Amino acid sequence: MTGGSRGIGFQSEALGEMGCAFPKTRGERPENFEKDQQFEAALFRAVVADPIVHRAMIEVGQLLQPQSLFHEPHIKQRIEAASAKTFARTV
């Protein structure tokens, strides 16, 4: 996600935007949709691989921390690192 106001996963689903993830869905995709989708995928890969990111996800999900926590440098670096490791293993 690019830091916009949309939200990720559980929040975008509440807004009815998850249907946009399916290619046959008609209508316009929200601005930055692909970039947001890529960030969300990287976030979920990191949640599985990194206990710090997992804890951040739980805290955001339980409304103990703001969603902006995912864009804090120490968390964002872990998300990017986990994603890079995943892709390194597949290549």
Residue 79 lies in a domain: yes
* Within-domain flag for 1: no
- Count: domains in the chain: 1
**Within-domain flag for 51:** yes
Does any domain span residue 2? no
**pLDDT, tens digit (0-9, with 9 covering 90-100), for 31-75:** 888 899 899 999 999 999 999 999 999 999 999 999 999 999 999
Within a domain: residue 3? no
d(CA 34, CA 40): 10
CB atoms within 10 A of CB 70: 22
Domain that holds residue 39: 10-90
Q: Tell if the pTM clears 0.85, that is, is over it.
A: no
Asked if the structure places residue 72 within a domain, the reply is yes
Which tokens belong to 52?
A: 């710090």
Contacts of 21 (CB under 8 A, 6+ apart): 37
Going from the C-alpha of 60 to that of each of 10, 27, 36, 69, the distances in angstroms are 11, 30, 17, 8
